[in-house]
């Protein structure tokens, strides 16, 4: 079993090293400031120069729901794969980290699809149901429904936090039968129960309050009035999943939902090169599941565990976001791109 010392980053297996080093940028020092930087001081992101089109992708579960994504093309056309970006919990295509990452990848020559999960952002107008951690089939349907002219240049994916968990679960379920050639996840909770317990800790009460507020807004659209009232009454994320997510989606309880949907159960089945980026000082997603997973049993998994970086932070000394650089380098190396 591969384990991580609490004070040092994981050293990846032979042949997977070579990512640029991450060094915190002042004044954003420590896990909380790295996490909150984009909310305390939102950066300007200009996506206007890039040609844009809307993709509406059907889901095949009989619900009539569709996912919606914003497809954008770099100003200089190159033979590089489309990067499908998947947002985190309560996010959408307009989340600041999604837009920042898209802008950097577009400038690097990668076409980008900012995908909205079921019921999120623009997808809400096309959906009766809402996404949850177990809805990995939605991603399979969306990839299958993408136009051939988009898929012909190849596909890779990058998932943030909760969205990264859906991506990993999907990859583990399908094995090698996927159009994705590579994947990257950032600050992903591979053990959902542990992450739920962590965010409810007293020191995380501001994060918890924020998540609960945003979940109530995003996940109650279209629900019966009794469920909307229930959502306003619950006092924790666990209660929300116990009282609403689980019963509405065929799970016996919140614990059953977390167990059956956690990405760590599916990692062994992943058959494409997958880079998992995480920080030991992430205040929201605990590192223990990363420490304890037997990475050497699946050499296609490449954990890059940094001592610092926070949750979807990684604001790098000298400017820029470290995981943008890491993801671009990883995709280029895996696909032998110049």
Which residue shows structure tokens 């009454």? 233
Task: Give the Cα separation of 242 and 249 in Å (integer).
Answer: 11
Give CA–CA dist 284/128, Å, rounded: 30
236 and 200 in contact (C-beta within 8 Å)? Answer: yes
Closest CA to 10 of 19, 2, 1, 18: 2
Inter-residue contact 335 to 273 (CB < 8 Å): no
Residue with tokens 């977390």: 258
Mean pLDDT (whole number) for 127-153: 96
Burial profile 74-101: b = 16 or more Cβ within 10 angstroms, e = fewer: beeeeebbbbbbbbbbbbbbebebbbbb
Tokens 């629900």 locate to: 223
**Over the stretch 213-250, which tens digit does the pLDDT of each residue have?**
999 999 998 899 999 999 999 999 999 999 999 999 99
pLDDT tens-digit series, residues 244-287? 999 999 999 999 999 999 999 999 999 999 999 999 999 999 99
CATH of domain 31-191+262-335: 3.40.50.1820
pLDDT digits (tens, 9 = 90+) for 15-69: 344 798 999 999 999 999 999 999 999 999 999 999 999 999 999 999 999 999 9
Residue identified by tokens 């994981």 is 10
**CB-based contacts of 230, cutoff 8 Å, min separation 6:** 243, 244
Identify the three-state secondary structure at position 57.
strand
Does the pTM surpass 0.85? The reply is yes
| CA–CA distances in Å: residue 30 to residues 284, 285, 309 | 13, 15, 7
Contact call for residues 194 and 179 (beta carbons, < 8 A):
no
Q: Answer yes or no: are the C-beta atoms of 31 and 281 closer than 8 Å.
A: yes
The mean per-residue pLDDT over the stretch 127-146 comes to: 98
The token pair that represents 252 in the structure block: 């016996």
Would you state the pLDDT for residue 338? 65
Domain-wise residue ranges, the chain: 31-191+262-335, 199-261
Closest of 117, 122, 120, 121 to residue 134, by C-alpha: 117
């Amino acid at each position: 079993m591969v384990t991580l010392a609490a004070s040092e980053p994981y050293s990846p297996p032979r042949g997977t090293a070579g990512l640029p080093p991450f060094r915190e940028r002042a004044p954003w020092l420590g896990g909380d400031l790295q996490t909150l930087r984009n909310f305390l001081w939102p950066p300007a992101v200009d996506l206007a120069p890039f040609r844009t089109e809307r993709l509406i992708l059907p889901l095949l579960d009989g619900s009539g729901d569709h996912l919606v994504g914003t497809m954008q093309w770099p100003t200089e056309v190159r033979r590089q794969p489309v990067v499908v970006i998947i947002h985190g919990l309560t996010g959408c295509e307009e989340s600041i980290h999604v837009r920042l990452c898209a802008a950097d990848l577009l400038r690097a020559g990668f076409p980008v699809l900012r995908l909205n999960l079921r019921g999120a952002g623009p997808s809400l107008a096309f959906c009766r149901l809402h996404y949850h951690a177990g809805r990995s089939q939605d991603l399979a349907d969306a990839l299958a429904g993408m136009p051939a002219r988009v898929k012909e240049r190849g596909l890779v994916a990058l998932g943030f936090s909760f969205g990264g968990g859906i991506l990993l679960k999907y990859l583990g379920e399908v094995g090698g039968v996927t159009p994705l050639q590579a994947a990257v996840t950032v600050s992903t909770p591979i053990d959902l129960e542990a992450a739920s317990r962590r965010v409810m800790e007293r020191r995380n009460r501001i994060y918890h309050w924020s998540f609960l507020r945003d979940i109530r807004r995003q996940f109650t659209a279209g629900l019966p009035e009794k469920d909307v009232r229930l959502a306003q009454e619950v006092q924790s994320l666990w209660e929300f999943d116990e009282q609403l997510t689980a019963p509405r989606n065929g799970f016996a309880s919140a614990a059953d939902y977390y167990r059956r949907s956690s990405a760590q159960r599916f990692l062994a089945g992943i058959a494409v090169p997958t880079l998992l980026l995480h920080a030991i000082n992430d205040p929201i997603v605990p590192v223990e599941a990363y420490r304890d997973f037997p990475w050497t049993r699946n050499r296609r998994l490449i954990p890059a565990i940094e001592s610092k970086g926070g949750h979807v932070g990684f604001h790098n000394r000298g400017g820029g976001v470290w995981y943008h650089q890491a993801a671009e380098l990883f995709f280029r190396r895996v696909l032998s791109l110049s």
